[in-house]
Amino acid sequence: MAGEAKHTVSAFDDELSALRANIIELGWRTSLAMEDAIRALEQRDAGLAQAVVDGDREIDALAAQVETAAVNIIALRAPMADDLRTLVSAIKISAILERTADYARNIARRVPSITEKYPKKLRKTIAAMNDAAKDMLGDVVRAYADGDVALAQSVCERDDVVDDLHDELTEMLIEFMIDKPDRISQAAHLLFVSKHLERIGDQATNIAEKVTYSVTGTHRKTGETESEKLAA
């Protein structure tokens, strides 16, 4: 991260750099999974959706690699203060990114069940939700890479945008189900898609909290309710 001190043992710096690079790659892979899942949904592309589902195994493996590496560094280097905080945050962030990728996978799994093209206004709102959540995720990974607390906190502030779009889409889908009772099942799948995207936004704010803690040593509440934590 920006402004970090060099250690007397250069191998320690190399290990921390490799760990950080893997987390950034994990964020990139997760963002790509989100993009592909929504494109598969929009195009009703079962093949692309299956590729997202299959690719989730690689994301899981990378997250496990990050956790193992961080634990090994803690065990071998016995880091103190800032370094220990960095490593603990890395473990938590990788776990959150892995969970975020699971939401993208879950969206992809619903694609084969959505066989008809849904109305343009629904497609536009889903796309807007995905763009907002994906931008939050991209920015929070950038905040992690640069140690940028201001950027991390701006991610938290944008969570309301995703939440509002989720509420808007929910209302639209309820109206759609009333008007088209024969398509209730497919609309229900879209409700889950909306909820998954809303949770991705929440996870981005959770990562932002960990970035702030890693850099400053202080915790910032994201405003997540207890029920939301249980739903994660």
Question: Distance between CA atoms of 20 and 159, rounded to whole angstroms?
Answer: 25
Mean pLDDT of 66-76: 93
Is 2 part of any domain?
no
Q: What would the DSSP string read from start to end of the chain?
A: -TTPPPPSSHHHHHHHHHHHHHHHHHHHHHHHHHHHHHHHHHHT-HHHHHHHHHHHHHHHHHHHHHHHHHHHHHHHH---HHHHHHHHHHHHHHHHHHHHHHHHHHHHHHGGG--SPPPHHHHHHHHHHHHHHHHHHHHHHHHHHHT-HHHHHHHHHTHHHHHHHHHHHHHHHHHHHHH-GGGHHHHHHHHHHHHHHHHHHHHHHHHHHHHHHHHHS--------HHHHHH-
Which CATH number goes with the domain that contains 74? Answer: 1.20.58.220
Is 3 part of any domain?
no
Is 143 part of any domain?
yes
The tens digit of pLDDT for each residue in 7-32 reads: 556 788 888 899 999 999 999 999 99
* Structural domain range at position 166: 10-231
Is 30 part of any domain?
yes
The tens digit of pLDDT for each residue in 141-186 reads: 999 999 999 999 999 999 999 999 999 999 999 999 999 999 899 8
pLDDT score at 83: 86
Q: Is the pLDDT of residue 204 over 50?
A: yes
pLDDT score at 5: 52
Q: Is the pLDDT of residue 232 over 70?
A: no
Percent of the chain with pLDDT over 90: 75
Is 182 part of any domain?
yes
* Long-range contacts of the stretch 195-198 (C-beta < 8 A, 24+): 195/166, 196/103, 196/104, 196/106, 196/107, 197/103, 197/107, 197/126, 197/129, 197/130, 197/133, 197/162, 197/166, 198/129, 198/133, 198/162, 198/163, 198/166
Domain total in the chain: 1
Confidence grade of residue 6 (pLDDT, cut at 50, 70, 90):
low
The tens digit of pLDDT for each residue in 32-65 reads: 999 999 999 999 999 999 999 999 999 999 999 9
* Higher-pLDDT residue of 8, 122: 122
Q: Is the pLDDT of residue 125 over 60?
A: yes
